[in-house]
């Protein structure tokens, strides 16, 4: 029962528990995954970045604080996280450097080719259709744009009993194949390992 509840919170943090506990826990537990993703994105001053499933907004804040790119947008399926992160990034949003919107990765609320980089950390387990999600990611990226997906290893996640409730687990080879099938090339893999998350990967690809 408790594991089902936690699993549901991870898939879509919501309510008082989501705002007070899940968002803060995600921020601590996923620090290393977000750091690896930021490193792999290799942002430059001209980049327009979009993060899908930003949760607490920690990574977006890191990016904006570091003045790492020209513009950073976020899309989230949890309205409670959108509201929370709107407050968190208020200064950058008011300055026109950032934007957060409610939305689903399978229907990203932006026009074609609006971004040069896209990232998503710890969300792919919750996508209903990976092919639809990746087609959308590709659509909003311009030619030569880059995607970075960071996720836990299948074996480590499978060891947590709660995964059965909301998660679909993928191994590294499946994710690489999904990206290739969606039209990304130059697939590269970086990995990390920390006490909070175990083994994780950040797979990058470029719009072919
Ligand atoms: C496990 S949390 C990870 C949050 C953050 N990226 C991190 O690593 O700390 C997953 C997040 O993805 C969001 N999410 C899940 N499915 C989504 C979808 N289809 N489209 C957009 N966001 C989604 C959830 O609401 C949640 O905030």
- For strands 184-194 and 198-207, give the pairing: antiparallel
Residue 173 has, within 13 A of its CA and on its CB side, a CA count of 0
Nearest CA to ligand 1 atom 14: 53
**What is the phi/psi pair of residue 100, to 5°?**
-130, 135
Does ligand 1 come within 6 angstroms of the Cβ of 55? yes
Does ligand 1 come within 6 angstroms of the Cβ of 38? no
Q: Is the pLDDT of residue 1 over 80?
A: no
Distance CA 201, CA 157 (A): 12
Nearest CA to ligand 1 atom 13: 53
- Domain boundary assignment for the chain: 2-207
Which atom of ligand 1 is least distant from the CA of 34?
8
Q: Is the pLDDT of residue 195 over 80?
A: yes
Mean pLDDT calculated for residue range 177-199: 95
Confidence of residue 42 (pLDDT cuts 50, 70, 90): very high
Classify domain 2-207 at the CATH topology level.
Answer: Rossmann fold (3.40.50)
Reduced 3-state DSSP string for the chain: CHHHHHHHHHHCCCHHHHHHHHHHHHHHHCHHHHHHHHHHHCCCCCCEEEEECCCCCHHHHHHHHCCCCCEEEEEECCHHHHHHHHHHCHHHHHCCCEEEEECECCECCCCCCCEEEEEEECCHHHCCCHHHHHHHHHHHEEEEEEEEEEEECHHHHHCCCCHHHHCCCCCHHHHHHHHHHCCEEEEEEEEEEECCCEEEEEEEEEEC
Distance CA 100, CA 103 (A): 9
At 132-174, the pLDDT tens digits run 999 999 999 999 999 999 999 999 999 888 888 889 999 999 9
**What pLDDT shows up at residue 65?**
93
**What is the phi/psi pair of residue 38, to 5°?**
-60, -40
Confidence of residue 67 (pLDDT cuts 50, 70, 90): confident
**What pLDDT shows up at residue 70?**
97
Q: Is the pLDDT of residue 113 over 90?
A: yes
**What pLDDT shows up at residue 163?**
87
**What pLDDT shows up at residue 161?**
85
Distance CA 161, CA 159 (A): 6
- With the most atoms of ligand 1 within 8 angstroms of its CB, the residue from 36, 37, 55 to mutate is 55
CA 148 vs CA 22, 80, 114, 158, 162: distances in Å: 23, 25, 16, 23, 26
Which residue is it, tokens 């950040």? Answer: 202
Confidence of residue 3 (pLDDT cuts 50, 70, 90): confident
Does ligand 1 come within 6 angstroms of the Cβ of 18? no
At 80-111, the pLDDT tens digits run 999 999 999 999 999 999 999 999 999 999 99
State the chain's mean pLDDT as an integer.
Answer: 95
- With the most atoms of ligand 1 within 8 angstroms of its CB, the residue from 35, 123, 127, 137 to mutate is 123
Ligand 1 centroid to Cα of residue 122, in Å, is: 7
């Amino acid at each position: 029962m408790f594991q089902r509840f936690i699993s549901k919170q991870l898939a879509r943090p919501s309510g008082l528990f989501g705002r007070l506990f899940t968002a803060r826990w995600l921020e601590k537990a996923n620090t290393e995954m977000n750091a690896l993703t930021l490193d792999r994105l290799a942002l430059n001053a001209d980049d327009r970045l979009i993060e899908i499933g930003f949760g607490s907004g920690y990574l977006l804040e890191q990016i904006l604080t570091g003045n790492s790119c020209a513009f950073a947008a976020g899309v989230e399926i949890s309205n409670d996280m959108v509201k929370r992160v709107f407050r968190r990034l208020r200064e950058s949003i008011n300055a026109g450097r950032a934007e957060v919107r409610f939305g689903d990765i399978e229907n990203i609320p932006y026009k074609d080719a609006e971004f040069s980089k896209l990232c998503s950390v710890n969300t792919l387990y919750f996508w209903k259709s990976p092919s639809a999600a990746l087609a959308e990611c590709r659509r909003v990226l311009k030619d030569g744009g880059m995607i970075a997906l960071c996720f836990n290893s299948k074996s480590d996640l499978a060891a947590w009993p709660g995964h059965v409730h909301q998660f679909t687990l993928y191994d590294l080879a499946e994710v690489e194949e999904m990206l290739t099938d969606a039209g990304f090339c130059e697939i590269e893999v970086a990995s990390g390992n920390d006490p909070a998350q175990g083994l994780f990967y950040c797979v990058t690809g470029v719009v072919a």
